Structure 1
Amino acid sequence: MKMISVYDSVGCILSHDVTQIIPGEFKGRLFKKGHVIKEEDIEKLLSIGKEHIYVWEPSEGELHENDAAIRISNLVLGEGVCKSKEIKEGKVDFFADIDGVLKINKDELFKLNSLGEIIVSTLHNNTPIRKGEKIGATRVIPLIIDEDKIINAEKLIKNKIIYVEKIKSKKCLLITTGNEVYNGRIKDAFLPVIKSKLGYYGSEVIKQVILPDSKEKIIKEIKNGLSENVDMIVCTGGMSVDPDDVTPTAIKECGGELVTYGSPVLPGAMFLLAYYKDTPILGVPSCAMYSKRTVLDLVLPRVLSDEKLTLEDIAAYGHGGLCLDCKICTFPHCSFGK
């Protein structure tokens, strides 16, 4: 790459984008990489302070920033992700190609960013994502990079770093427990909450059963739901450690595998997760009725994408598991669950 005077640049090809900034009015690309400079362009270049331009004369073993960014994109992008059709100022943006849960291989991402001169930036792992949402970007630092740096990255990274797990539509059985609700002393407030949170992801409550605090009756209805092949069972009410709250015991004794009773998330400490074969059973604490965001908002999209969560997955939520209950909620683009 060599520098030449703009007065001698007619007919030359720009090796990079040229940005124009008009304070308070405009910031953007004046000329695109690859633009062939014309006589009338000279005055425009001078007006933004460009008295010289850089013309790249490629040498063997060198890559332009755009070409390097494309190769990095091809290296890191997996299923459910697409990239920008146009490269601006050497940067390629990444977008979700489907509704789902963003997955980031954090170990591989760290290795790639540790090489130097190569950067990949992403949103947080396990963020629920809508199709078309921006989820990351890449570029290299120098305008011209040694190709060996890219080759080393291609040898080092063995797994895709960024992908989106598709969220599936599921049919849910809602079992609401509590003597006060069963006997009509208070109105159930769980149904609209669970319907809303499931509906946001295209799933639905196909049946609600309201039961007293009876372990045997709860077990019976869980087994009925399993025999009817529902995709998921959500149990609400009776999730504390009071002697009358028997829902956790009923879930444990229904024949499934208990993952956890308790989570390091506030609100949501009394959350329960179990599986009967591949059918998830969620015990949702009362905080879900009145808090905007709880542990349910963190776990639900992952369950709906058919990820089988482990105790380690739940334990990891302790770091970032405190909801600040902001007046204006920006979840999932906040610190909660990150």
Structure 2
Amino acid sequence: MKEIRVEEAVGKVLCHDLTQIIRGVTKDARFRKGHVIQEEDIPVLLSMGKDHIFVWENDGTKLHEDEGAEILRQLTQNQGMAASEPKEGKIELTAQHDGVFHVDEERLAAINGIGDIAIATIPQHFPVKKGTKLAGMRVIPLVIDKEKMEAVRKLAGDKPLMELRPYRKMKVGVVTTGTEVFAGRIKDTFTPVIAAKLKAFGLQIDEHRLSDDVMEHTQAKIEELLALGMDMVLCTGGMSVDPDDRTPAAIRAAASRVVTYGVPVLPGAMFLLAYWEKEGRRVPIAGLPGCVMYSPATIFDLVLPRLLTGEDIPKNDLDRLGVGGLCMGCKPCHYPFCSFGK
């Protein structure tokens, strides 16, 4: 730090907050640390009784906090993200469209471990709306060593740490299984729930089929929807381990590969995810357990946004849902603004 006369401070960086007191009006920081002194600030500073102030001396080895924050922005910001102007060493990113947030957790942890910087984000795989705050980052001290920021650059590499994957416009087919529904003995109360969840993303059920509990019949209905060009197929009913629940077998027979049957999430443990692949098309086929029909938040709510971005969800991602995969059953339900799936 260096003490200089206020009149000589234009263009210099303030090293500490300066409080302005106007009786009956205000008592607050008029200028904050890191502020670059402007010509119009001089009369104000003099009126505050500041003939001398402490400013930052740049010896070429350090960066101002705002310069450091700008480097953090460059390493994190990706398409679909808007950045705020640097202020007191802090920059925030917000979503420019709806989608699912992704962050490279390992690289982020390594960068935060360097010290003197902080990058904080919303949860991994969080579904967001346009305008949602995604991340905030800042340099903690007023100035930071250039060498430290170079270390940050090296750890970050040449790919942004964050990604906002937009939703795709998809055609969705639903197969409702169960002889009791197929024969008209009971009303189908599952399909309206699926329709409501899709509507939240601007989608609808484009094709709907009913099937009895014969495995080959359900398989044929799934394959029919695939032939009609559905981008996603959802199957309801018959997903438990009871001997007469044959929907998982039908999905296995129709799919190219099964990612998992069973996930460490409650409610939703009997969820099945598979993919049908042919000639460049990749269509997710999901078997939805009965809890989706009556629980406000289940495994379906965790994976649906990611499926709607076209993501090929790996099994190890689903395995990791065990931590945070227990719904607390809050009333009213606050999902996704809760710990479920985080």
TM-score normalized by structure 2?
A: 0.88
- Aligned in 2, Cα 1:252/1:147: closer, same or farther, shift over 3 Å? same
Matching of residues 201-240 of structure 1 within 5 Å: 201-240=201-240
Residue 266 of structure 1 aligns with an amino acid whose one-letter code is L
Instruction: Tell me the alpha carbon deviations over residues 166-220 of structure 1, each in whole angstroms, 9 at most, x when there is no partner.
Output: 1112110011111222222322112221112112222221021122212121111
Deviation, 1:18, is: 4.5
What secondary structure does 2:263 align onto? coil
- Aligned in 2, Cα 1:123/1:226: closer, same or farther, shift over 3 Å? same
Matching of residues 162-311 of structure 1 within 5 Å: 162-277=162-277, 278-311=282-315
Extract unaligned runs of 5+ from structure 1: none
Number of matched residues?
328
Deviation, 1:79, is: 2.7
Matching of residues 59-70 of structure 1 within 5 Å: 59-70=59-70
Residue 257 of structure 2 aligns with an amino acid whose one-letter code is E
Match of 1:74 in 2: 74
What secondary structure does 1:180 align onto? helix
CA distance in structure 2 between the aligned counterparts of 1:183 and 1:51, rounded to whole angstroms: 89
- Aligned in 2, Cα 1:250/1:115: closer, same or farther, shift over 3 Å? same
Is the Cα contact below 8 Å between 2:100 and 2:164 reproduced in 1?
A: yes
Residue 13 of structure 2 aligns with an amino acid whose one-letter code is S
CA distance in structure 1 between the aligned counterparts of 2:295 and 2:61, rounded to whole angstroms: 57
Matching of residues 64-213 of structure 1 within 5 Å: 64-84=64-84, 86-158=85-157, 159-213=159-213
- Aligned in 2, Cα 1:143/1:51: closer, same or farther, shift over 3 Å? farther
| Identity rate, percent | 41
CA distance in structure 1 between the aligned counterparts of 2:13 and 2:155, rounded to whole angstroms: 29
CA distance in structure 2 between the aligned counterparts of 1:334 and 1:200, rounded to whole angstroms: 19
Instruction: Tell me the alpha carbon deviations over residues 205-236 of structure 1, each in whole angstroms, 9 at most, x when there is no partner.
Output: 10211222121211111111111111000000
What secondary structure does 1:320 align onto? coil
Query: Which deviates more, 168-177 or 72-81?
Result: 72-81
CA distance in structure 2 between the aligned counterparts of 1:294 and 1:237, rounded to whole angstroms: 15
Query: Which deviates more, 261-270 or 93-102?
Result: 93-102
What secondary structure does 2:254 align onto? coil
Deviation, 1:26, is: 9.1
Match of 2:13 in 1: 15
What secondary structure does 2:100 align onto? strand
CA distance in structure 2 between the aligned counterparts of 1:146 and 1:166, rounded to whole angstroms: 37
Residue 307 of structure 2 aligns with an amino acid whose one-letter code is V
Query: Which deviates more, 268-277 or 33-42?
Result: 33-42
- Aligned in 2, Cα 1:188/1:53: closer, same or farther, shift over 3 Å? farther
Deviation, 1:145, is: 1.1
- Aligned in 2, Cα 1:120/1:185: closer, same or farther, shift over 3 Å? same
- Aligned in 2, Cα 1:272/1:255: closer, same or farther, shift over 3 Å? closer
CA RMSD, 1 decimal = 2.4
Residue 213 of structure 1 aligns with an amino acid whose one-letter code is D
Query: Which deviates more, 203-212 or 276-285?
Result: 203-212
- Aligned in 2, Cα 1:51/1:184: closer, same or farther, shift over 3 Å? farther
- Aligned match for 1:34, one of 30, 33, 36: 36
- Aligned in 2, Cα 1:295/1:10: closer, same or farther, shift over 3 Å? same
Query: Which deviates more, 177-186 or 222-231?
Result: 177-186
**Structure 1 position 334 matched with structure 2 position 320:** no
Residue 98 of structure 2 aligns with an amino acid whose one-letter code is D
Is the Cα contact below 8 Å between 2:103 and 2:124 reproduced in 1?
A: yes
What secondary structure does 1:78 align onto? coil
Instruction: Tell me the alpha carbon deviations over residues 35-92 of structure 1, each in whole angstroms, 9 at most, x when there is no partner.
Output: 432324444x57xxx89743223221211100110011102222322211x2222200
Deviation, 1:331, is: 2.1
CA distance in structure 1 between the aligned counterparts of 2:27 and 2:231, rounded to whole angstroms: 50
What secondary structure does 1:234 align onto? strand
Is the Cα contact below 8 Å between 1:19 and 1:27 reproduced in 2?
A: no
Residue 140 of structure 2 aligns with an amino acid whose one-letter code is I
TM-score normalized by structure 1?
A: 0.89
Q: 4+ runs of 1 displaced by more than 6 Å?
A: 19-22, 25-29
**Structure 1 position 325 matched with structure 2 position 333:** no
Residue 211 of structure 1 aligns with an amino acid whose one-letter code is S
CA distance in structure 2 between the aligned counterparts of 1:74 and 1:311, rounded to whole angstroms: 32
Deviation, 1:21, is: 10
What secondary structure does 1:59 align onto? coil
- Aligned in 2, Cα 1:156/1:296: closer, same or farther, shift over 3 Å? same
Query: Which deviates more, 193-202 or 294-303?
Result: 193-202
- Aligned in 2, Cα 1:97/1:257: closer, same or farther, shift over 3 Å? same
What secondary structure does 2:69 align onto? helix
